[in-house]
A and B are shown apart, each in its own frame.
Chain A
């Protein structure tokens, strides 16, 4: 059984959110009603450069789509994965190859081998967490819709 807590550390999540500027989304859909499209749209709105990785599309959310992480020109800070769990080892190998800073696996994208490959290659792993939700929890406006962010504090600037 995979110990997911080690891939869900709040400080690591916040460090990744604050230090990233370029996010490649593997499995980003062009369908506006798909969860990946919600996340990509949200991240663009919040100033991240979003790079679609989807071999079946040429352009998503106004950005050029690439067939593979290996085709993406320039550095990638976060590889955000919306794929079946068994696709993760190959994606993790690509993330290591392009020296990505972090491999962020969405809800349910859980694969122990993929996590190990990334970690062994020096890539930070976050697993079974939504990039949009975590951004909204720590940086954005999740408070505004009555969700339990776990961030209720007397500290004006919020919790670290």
Chain B
């Protein structure tokens, strides 16, 4: 796959240039909006998720903001799961407020909570396939059904499952987003994100004039009527990406494409290792509340069997004895697990959410996200699982000597 390391593209003639800018012809204009290397990554993600296509962004959070900006206007309202990645909680809470968009948090496990939160100005539901870090599994079909009863799209962050383990569009999700930084890339080298659209949501249902009506941001173009299945994606690219400018670099797209080559192999190993590490921790006296939804005793086991038959991902948390200082002792004690703020690398990762990824959250928000003072989050890698368990065991011995 060549890396098109270029800002722009020599046009054949003035008519072609105009046709590209008018969206009358598929053509490259400027790498803030499209790039051939990035396009290959986008098409493959669209294909893997079973969508109509995709638009890539500079980060997962940029992808998420863009997915929402494309369908929201000031005065609108969003209903979201409360058990989310801390960065997403911050984005939804603060960025949406700055846009004058209202937000309601709901318990993602309760379909009635989603239903009861809908208002006349609600424009979207938002949740994660597997919640970060609490390991809650979204009942995608049930929540999508409530969303569709109200002619609303369900947006699902599928980062932790990847399309190898779950394809939310097959269960009714309308838009799928990813932090490609995680398992898609898989090697901790590149930040990026992507939005995949199913192409099946009816944006002309009267609730979404921002997509259906003539757009003042694109000389009166009606994106849904003109591009049909591809209307949301066209608007996402030609307006939102154009105006936000959070573009994925072609080199990063290349690295993500390399990651996709081994996604299936890595995910098989990730879930096998995660299952074994979770079982080890569940039996350890200094570990409690092991949230891996693949465990036989997990309340999410039925949802795992339905949505994640190939495995429940590789990121989960547990509570280390000794609270905050116990968690910190464990992190100091391990020698194979890397202490860093990422998940989804081929190597195993460990972090203390209350002091890092979820630091900006209030106590109540921490509680809703399943984070306690001693909570430690693991991202189980693809190393030999015996080595990973050995390292946790010797790290927990140090916790035991302190507590």
Contacts and interface: CB of A to CB of B under 8 A. Distances in A.
A96 to B, nearest CB: 28
Given A33-B214, A45-B19, A148-B53, A143 B225 contact: no
Interface string B284-312: 00000000000000000000000000000
Interface stretch (A16-24, A35-43, A52-60, A67-75): A35-43
Nearest to A142: B26
Contact of B40 (A34, A130, A133, A143): A143
A145 interface: yes
Contacts of B24: 38, 41-42, 45
Contacts of A33: 214, 219-222, 226
A35 B22 CA distance: 13
Contacts, number: 80
A150 interface: yes
A107 B228 contact: yes
Interface string A117-132: 0000000000000100
B237 A145 contact: yes
Contacts of A6: none
Given A41-B19, A45-B25, A141-B27, A150 B47 contact: yes
Interface residues of B, number: 38
Nearest to A151: B43
A132 to B, nearest CB: 9
Given A42-B25, A107-B228, A141-B26, A148 B40 contact: no
B46 A148 contact: yes
Interface string B15-53: 000010011111110000010101111111011000111
A147 B53 contact: yes
B71 interface: no
B230 interface: yes
A146 interface: yes
A140 B237 CA distance: 19
Nearest to B52: A148
A41 B229 CA distance: 20
A143 B47 contact: no
Given A33-B221, A148-B51, A143 B43 contact: yes
B274 interface: no
A35 B222 CA distance: 9
Given A33-B220, A143-B39, A148 B47 contact: yes
Contact of B47 (A38, A133, A152): A152
B220 A145 contact: no
A142 B43 CA distance: 10
B55 interface: yes
Residue of A136, A144, A148 most packed against chain B (CB within 10 A): A148
A149 interface: yes
Nearest to A46: B25
Contacts of A149: 43
A141 B237 CA distance: 16
Residue of B53, B220, B233, B234 most packed against chain A (CB within 10 A): B53
A112 to B, nearest CB: 21
Contact of A152 (B43, B56, B222): B43
Nearest to B218: A33
A147 B44 CA distance: 9
A68 B228 CA distance: 27
Contact of B46 (A45, A130, A141, A146): A146
Given A38-B24, A42-B24, A45-B19, A144 B225 contact: no
Contacts of B53: 145-148
B54 interface: yes
A130 B228 contact: yes
6 contacts: A35-B228, A45-B24, A145-B34, A145-B53, A146-B53, A148-B47
Sorted nearest first, the 6 A-B pairs with minimum C-beta distance are A146-B42, A147-B53, A148-B46, A141-B26, A146-B39, A148-B47
Interface of A: 32-35, 38, 41-42, 45, 107, 130, 133, 136, 140-150, 152
Given A130-B228, A145-B234, A152-B44, 16 more contacts: A33-B221, A38-B23, A42-B24, A42-B25, A45-B25, A142-B26, A143-B39, A144-B34, A145-B39, A146-B34, A146-B38, A147-B233, A148-B51, A148-B53, A152-B43, A152-B47
